[in-house]
Chain A
């Protein structure tokens, strides 16, 4: 892990410039994992996407979200992680289908993603990250209150 980190910090920029070909991965999860997008519950969604339900909590993977969202149509979320992750996915139970988005992280990238999601009711939001190489799944989850009366889209 230490060596991996050292390499990641020191050489990532260098590698990205010298061998751009290695980063050329285009994974469209919509076409490769069509069934994962139709699942309703978070637990099943994780299994459908990653093929396993064994999750580990880690302080190195975290996300920021408001405790009380006034507008269910636009909830800002920031995912941060210092782990070497292959992909990060966001699941929630509020909507008819649980999977909101899946990031595939290029080698040596900084995991600091900021985006907005829609939620029609109060629910738990779960972030799942898959470590590169080992395939270990890390998770973080939080309940977000969506106030009724906001224009929930």
Chain B
């Protein structure tokens, strides 16, 4: 269900990452208003070579289709792996090479 788009670019040892996740981000109240069941991502983690570079736990009050940007120190060609967990404990994983 949830697809993600990941862009990662390395410049002078710093990797800039932009990632977009597909989710309604509907918390309890909003779900009732819209007549759907709650659905939001509650946990996102990004790893390079099994080391955590980005980690966030969130509630349904992030905006729809959350877009996150962040930076970390890394190398070209490494693989960046994102894992998300939603409110039903469903996990999604996607990997992207750092350009």
Which residues does A use to contact B, with CB under 8 Å? 12-13, 16-17, 20-21, 23-30, 37, 73-75, 92, 95-97, 99-106, 108-110, 112-119, 153
Contacts and interface: CB of A to CB of B under 8 A. Distances in A.
Contacts of B45: 26
A88 B6 CA distance: 23
Given A109-B72, A110-B14, A112-B71, A24 B63 contact: no
Given A25-B52, A28-B57, A101-B56, A110 B62 contact: no
B55 A13 contact: no
A137 to B, nearest CB: 18
Given A17-B75, A106-B52, A110-B71, 15 more contacts: A13-B13, A16-B73, A20-B51, A23-B53, A24-B51, A29-B57, A73-B63, A73-B64, A74-B64, A105-B55, A106-B55, A109-B53, A110-B14, A115-B67, A153-B64
Contacts, number: 115
Contacts of A104: 52, 55-57
B55 A115 contact: no
Given A97-B59, A100-B58, A115-B67, A24 B52 contact: yes
Given A28-B57, A28-B85, A102-B57, A118 B62 contact: yes
B88 interface: no
B56 A102 contact: yes
A28 B91 CA distance: 13
Nearest to B67: A116
Given A28-B85, A30-B43, A104-B55, A117 B61 contact: yes
B63 A116 contact: yes
Nearest to A99: B59
Q: Which of B13, B68, B73 has the most CB of A within 10 A?
A: B73
